[in-house]
Every structure is written in structure tokens, then in C-alpha cells.
Amino acid sequence: MAKEPGSPSLRRWVLLGLLALGAGMVLLTLLVAGVAAVALVDRLEGPEVWNRWSEIGDSFGVLNGVVSGLAFAALMATLWFQSRELSLQRFELRMQRDAIRQSGEELRRTADAGMRNLHFELLKMSIQDAALADVWPDPVPTSDETRRRQLLYANLVFQHLALSMTLAEHTDDEAREALRYIFESELMREYWLLAAPARRKTQVSGSGPSRMSRLADEVLAEFSATRPGAEQQPG
């Protein structure tokens, strides 16, 4: 993310640059003044003056150490600011990646919901018109019009439940509870058994519909264990 001209980070770097420039100009001025003073003293005074200045210079040895320490501290501060800036940039990049990933997931869910809605509409049309129901590769194997419509409606109920569970990100246990409720209906269990061949041909392993199918199979197995004959294929 590019920094705006008026951002605090940019102002901080401008301030540091101005301070460094000012310090450089001061050091250059002192250097030039020192050279000029040495030349002037050499021209006007004798060797005894240099001896006295040498003694004075020795007394400022501690001051040189202090100045060096301050310069080192300034260097450490600059490095800390740079490290802080890099950390902030990494944080911003991570936030951008998370936002992009979340946006992609939302788009995928929206597209999935749109496809499911189209599937619902096709099922509704087949419920209303038996001739359209026969167009499906796996038509409902019954000549009873009422039962045919009930089984197609059971398909709609299950698809609605699966979509709502997936979009709301319900846990497996929560989905099992909802499946136990709808599988109390004998027609729902009959529909699920009849639709097994179509599921094996169309579902992708690891997808949301595949997860719901696995959970539904587990719940139906519970019915088989607790209610003998509940999972038998309808005749």
C-alpha cells in the first residue's frame, strides 16, 4: 500500500533527512573552521601555543567519547525506525492478502448459491410438470404422480438444508442434528436412498455437497441401527 504524501511515516522520514542534512552541514562548518583556525595560529603564534593546545585537547578526550556514543545512539535509533517501518509494511501486506482471500471466498460462495438457486428452479419446474421430470437422467422410479412430486420436493428440502448449513458454516454436529430432524420423514429417507446413484456420478470429493452427503449417510446409518428396516431400499 503506497504511503500518502501527508502520512506520519513520510513526515518522520522527511524529519530524519532534514536532521541528518543539518548535522552534516554543522560538521562541515566545524571542519572548515578548524582548518582555518589551525592555519591562522600557525602563521601568528609559535610552538609553545601548540603545546598548550595539545594539553587542552587531551582534556577533551572524554568529550570525544561522549560524542561518539551519541553518534552510535543516533545510528541505532535510525535502524530501529527502519525496522519498525518494515514491520508495518509487512503487517499491511498481510492484511491485504487476508482481504483478497476473504473476498475470493465470498465470491465463491455467491457463485455456489447462484448455482443452487438455478437447481432449485429446475426442480420446481419438474415438480409442476411430469414431462419435464422425465428429462432428468435419473427420473423418479414411480408411476404415482403424488409420490413423484413428494420425492422431488424432498430433494428441494435437502438441497435447501445443505446450502443453508454450508453458507452459515455450521459444524458437523450441528448439521447432523438438522439431518436427524428431516430424516424423521420416511419420504426423506426414501428420496435419499433413491438419489444415491446420481450423487455418486455428480459429486466431487471434498466439496461442500460431498460433506453434507457424508453426514447424511452417517445419520441414515443411525436410523438403520436404531430402527431395523428404516434404511432398506424402497420396493
CB 148 within 8 A of CB 133: yes
Full-model pTM = 0.48
Rounded Cα distance between 154 and 137, Å, is 18
Residue with cell 448459491: 113
Closest to 155 in 3D by CA, of 226, 235, 84, 212: 212
Rounded Cα distance between 179 and 65, Å, is 79
Lowest mean pLDDT among 16-30, 100-114, 163-177: 16-30
Residue with cell 465470491: 107
Bigger pLDDT: 112 or 169?
169
Lowest mean pLDDT among 84-93, 173-182, 185-194: 84-93
Name the average pLDDT for the chain.
75
Give the list of residues 6+ apart from residue 231 with CB closer than 8 angstroms, or none.
189, 193, 220, 221, 223, 224
The ranges assigned to domains in the chain are: 112-226
**CA pseudo-torsion sign 139, 142, 146, 147:** negative
Residue with cell 437422467: 137
Class of residue 135 by CB neighbours under 10 A (exposed 0-12, middle 13-18, buried 19+): exposed
Tell me the mean pLDDT in the region 147-162: 86
pLDDT per residue as tens digits for the range 36-72: 665 565 555 555 655 665 655 555 555 566 667 777 7
